[in-house]
Structure formats: C-alpha cells, structure tokens
Structure 1
Amino acid sequence: MPRPHRKSDPTRRSDPTRNLDPTRVGAATGADRTRRAFSQTFLHDRAAIDRVVRAVRPTPGELTIEVGAGTGQLTRVLARVDGRLLAYEVDPDLTARLARRCADLPNVTLAPGDFLAAGPPAEPFAVVGNIPYAATAPIVRWCLHASRLRAATLVTQLKYARKRTGDYGRWSLLTVRTWPEFDWRLAGQLPRTAFRPVPGVDAGILRLTRRPVPLVPPAATPAYQRLVELGFSGVGGSVAASLRRGFPVRRVDAALRATRIPVDALAGEIWPEQWLTLFRLITAR
C-alpha cells in the first residue's frame, strides 16, 4: 500500500539548530565563528583553572609564557603565583578585552600576535596554556626545540595527552625520541563542560619537563634517535626485525633478551626506559 504523501515543513528545513548539541545551539554568532576559526575553547570553570595552575609548579622569579590567553581567566590566576607572565593572544578581537582585564596586574605583559612566530627567550622560562587543539603539534614542537625551556604545561585533547604519555599502554615515536631530554606526564584530566564553547571531547593536562641531566649524553643523542626511528619504522613487522636491518643480528637479539622484550614486540609496546637500555646494549663498544 503506498505511503501517504507528507507535506514538507519549511520551518523544519530552515532551522539551522535542528539536531545540534543543545550546549552549542547558541554558538552561531560572529564571535563564536571567530572562536572556531582560531580553534578556541575557553576555560570557565574555576576548579579546572586551579587544577591547571597547580600542575604548573612555577619557579619564583622565572618568566612564564602563556599561550592563548584568550579572555584572561587563566591569566589572572597565573599572575598570582608567577613572578613574570608574558601572555600571547593571536585573536585581535580579544586583545583589547584582555588588556582591560589585566590592567591591574603589573607583572603581566601582553603580547598580541602568534606565539609560534615568536623566538624563544634567551633566559630559562616555562610555557603554560589552554592551547588551540588544532595547533597542538606545532606548539609542542616549538617547546621541544626551545633550548632554555624548563617546563611546559599544556591543556590538550585528552586523547593526545594520553597517547604521548603512554596512558594507553603504548608509546609514541615523539615521546620515545625525546625521552632522554624530556619527561612526559599526564598531570590531570578536565571535563569538556569546563570549557566554552563546549568541545566534543574531554581535555588532558600534558606536562613536559626538561631533565636537569639528559639520560643520554648530548654527543650520543643523534645515534639514540636514529636507533629509535629505525625501531619505529615498522620494517619487518617487529622491533627486532627493524633493528636487525641496521645492527648485527646477534647483538640485537642479545639486547632484547637482556631487556626481556619479546622478539615479536611492536615499537609502541616498549617502554622508554627499555629503549634506553636497548640503545646502550646494542651500541656498546
């Protein structure tokens, strides 16, 4: 039996908020479109802000750079515990508002513009920020390449923070490659409802800390990184097969036995500490 014809409802077709997350229905303003263009989500929950500040652990008198100061919610709390704060904000619509909000904070200097375009300071410093998720990778790279960086505390997507810190039971190439110089930690989790506009995922507090003494001598770091990159190359289907392409088979197999790594183990399954031991055993003279 044919189905009866159903008249279309023009109000249903033209309603742009239909089927949207109710927490985002009001986010169709020009300002919110700018927020999306800059991949911005602002911390508004005070408990979440306090949790980020506790993870920072500032050094008295040290310069701290805030990435993506936004509306200054985090900036004002940081200013109470940091000696000197340099706050970057790339969105020109927010800089005037940020200046007004921080006018009574003499230890805060505003830096309108792109943090990624700035050169790192010549003095020891720390980085902190509720960073745009879309810029996470370049901001992390900037921090890793800044020779005077002491620590970075970054609010990222929870998935990114867990992946980089081994919280899934697997380790990434970037983490293992830089492990001799930097400690990677998941310093906490923040619910997505702590942000406005509300993002689709929860956030993690990623803590990067430069080690006072590298775990591998600087002169040996390039060799360590080449070994790790070879191990992560995936050639042969296992770390053992990949490493055998660049080092004597007997030496590789003996190092795997000594570290109790299965011969069929994948690169991401090996802890950073085990990579250090593999490097020392395989390259020993």
Structure 2
Amino acid sequence: MNQRKDVIDTADVVKKYGFKFTKSLGQNFLIDHNVIDQIVEGAGVSSEDTVIEIGPGVGTLTKELLKRAKKVIAIEIDSDLIPILSEELKEHNNFQLIHQDAMKVDFNKIIEENENVKVVANLPYYVTTPIITNLLNAKYKFKSITVMIQKEVAERMNSEPNCKDYGSLSLLVQYYCDTKIIMKVPPMCFIPRPKVDSIVIRLDRLEETRVTVDDEKLFFRVIRDSFNMRRKTLWNGMKNIGLDKEKLEEAFKDSGIDQKRRGETLTIQEFADLANAINKKINN
C-alpha cells in the first residue's frame, strides 16, 4: 500500500471515480512513484519553469510537477478525466487545465504568456510521433520536452548513423534538439499494463538548428527519400528530386558524397551538404 500521503495513488483514484480506460485513447497510467520522481528530476523542473503536461491522466505526475514548477498547464482530451483532475488538484493555485486535443492547441499562445516553458508528458503511443513532430516543426520556443514513449520510438530518436534505428525521425529530432535517455520503464509500472517497454527521453531544444540548410523543406525531402528504400543507394533515392542526371551527378560531386552510399550511413551534416548542393543545382 502507498504510504506517502502527499501523492496521488493512481489505482485508488481510478477506483474512487469508477474511471473506465478508453482503449482508443491509448491510456496507460503510471503507478510507480519512483518512476514519477525520476521523470520530474530528469526534466529538470524548477520553480522558474512553466510546465505543459500533455495527457495528465488522473494527475499522478501532475501533482509532483506542481510541487516543483511555477505553473503546470495540463492538456487533456478525455472529458471523463476533467472533473477528476479538477477535484484532485483543486488545492493547487498554480494549476491550469485545458480540455482539448493537444494536436489542436496553440502552443505559441501558451509560450508567449509564460517563461521557461518545458513540456512533460506520458504520451499515448499512437500519438507520440505526430505530437513531437508538430512541436518541433512548428518551432515552438520551449526549453525541453521530456516524454515517456514506446522504447523503440525513443531509440530511433536517439540513434546514430549506421544503426538499424537511425532514420528520418532521428534526424528530425536531432536537427532541433539534443537527446538524452533518462530511464527505461517496464510494463508493470502502468495500469493497464502496455505490451511493450517504455523509455523516458529528454529533448533539449537547441538555440540554433544543428546544421545550416538553404531550404528546410528540401532538406527533409532528401532525408525522407533516402530512407524510403533503406537498401537502395542515395542515387536511386534522389532520382525524383527534380534534377536531370547530369546536374544530380554534379550535386553529389559538389557535396563530396558518394552516390553509391545508403542514407543510413550519412551524418546530419552530410545530409545538409547534399541538400544544399541539390538546392543550388535546382536554382541555377
């Protein structure tokens, strides 16, 4: 039995309100307070920070964040959880609850009205990549994103060239952020138990993007086309990029990259060099 009186016992709250988990929302609530403490610690939350929590569940992690942060803004899509959160966290005057789909929230408005914004979330697996992609591509001025996500997705974000997990997601995340694995979390730490292991990963937003590119849209297309057929050469991947054979050969030569290489072998700087060389040929 949980002996700590200053925390929310997830199982007790679920039972108290007769809450029914919605499978379509991918709900898996944390019940291990050691994990929760490490998430808060790993996120580096301080009294100067405003935390945006996506998917607070019954408020177990939220309550711990409220003890550390200047303010916690929780975004919850499930109507059944709104009264539970409002009741369980009513004594905290630094708590704000937004009943909305996180994919439709105007994060710029929240960030403009607050300082030192950090995102913390135990994300449903099915929305992990869309939410993180949206947060990064929209260039929101958050300090960091600390998220509990499926182990395989976290490993892809943190992967390096010549690894099986390295791909478009790795490069997107690392273009904007430094990555750090905080901890691995087994299924037994949740109710209901997921079928896979999870990882808490922290993404610290860089002041400037990791590499300089002339055309971001083209840069990410080069990356995407390079991984669409992982076993194919870069030359085959770039065939539909918008250059004739002669100019494409010149772009490879100018970038110093062998067209016979595969995308999984290129560093992010090499992708930038290739994209910039292609961009010059397209615009000449």
Answer whether TM exceeds 0.5 for this pair: yes
**Per-residue CA distance 1:198-217 (angstroms, 9 max, x = gap):** 11111011322221122334
Shift of the 57–284 alpha-carbon distance from structure 1 to 2, 3 Å rule, reads: farther
* 1:212–1:59 CA distance, 2 compared to 1 (3 A): farther
1:206 maps to what in 2?
201
Measured in 2, the distance between the counterparts of 1:156 and 1:80 equals 23
* Counterparts of 1:173 and 1:37, CA distance in 2: 27
Q: Distance in 2 between matches of 1:233 and 1:283?
A: 20
Find out whether 1:189 has 2:176 as its counterpart: no
SS in 1 for 2:40: helix
C-alpha change, 1:282 and 1:134, in structure 2 (3 Å) is: closer
Q: Which amino acid aligns with 2:185?
A: L
Gaps of 5+ in 1: 1-26
Provide TM-score, normalisation by structure 2.
Answer: 0.75
Matched residue type, 2:84: R
Q: CA RMSD in A?
A: 3.1
The answer to whether the aligner puts 1:95 opposite 2:82 as a matched pair is yes
Q: How many residues align?
A: 253
C-alpha distance in structure 1 between counterparts of 2:267 and 2:164, whole Å: 9
Looking at structure 2, the residues matched to 235 and 40 of structure 1 have their Cα atoms a distance apart, in angstroms, of 33
Question: What is the deviation of 1:142?
Answer: 2.6
Paired position in structure 1 for 2:226: 231
DSSP 3-state at the match of 1:105: coil
Distance 2:260 2:212 in 1: 29
Preserved CA contact (<8 Å) 1:175 1:184: no
- The separation in 1 between residues aligned to 2:172 and 2:85, in whole angstroms, is 38
Structure 2 gap segments, 5+ residues each: 1-13
Report Cα offsets for 1:232-256 as digits up to 9, x if no partner. Answer: 3439921244347645425525745
Kept in 1, the 8 Å contact 2:213–2:219? The answer is: no
**Equivalent of 2:134, from 142, 145, 168?**
142
Aligned residue identity for 2:249: V
| Offset of residue 31 of structure 1 | 5.7
In structure 2, relative to structure 1, the CA distance for the partners of 1:43 and 1:224 (3 Å cut) is same
2:77 counterpart letter in structure 1: V
Measured in 1, the distance between the counterparts of 2:93 and 2:272 equals: 45
Q: 1:275 to 1:187 in 2, by over 3 A?
A: farther
Question: 1:226 offset after TM fit, Å?
Answer: 3.7
Structure 2 equivalent of residue 20 of structure 1? none
Q: TM-score, normalised by structure 1?
A: 0.75
From the CA coordinates, give the structure whose radius of gyration is larger.
Answer: 1
Among 34, 45, 68, the residue aligned to 1:81: 68
Q: Given the superposition, is the C-alpha separation of residues 235 and 103 from structure 1 closer, same or farther in structure 2, using an over 3 Å criterion?
A: closer
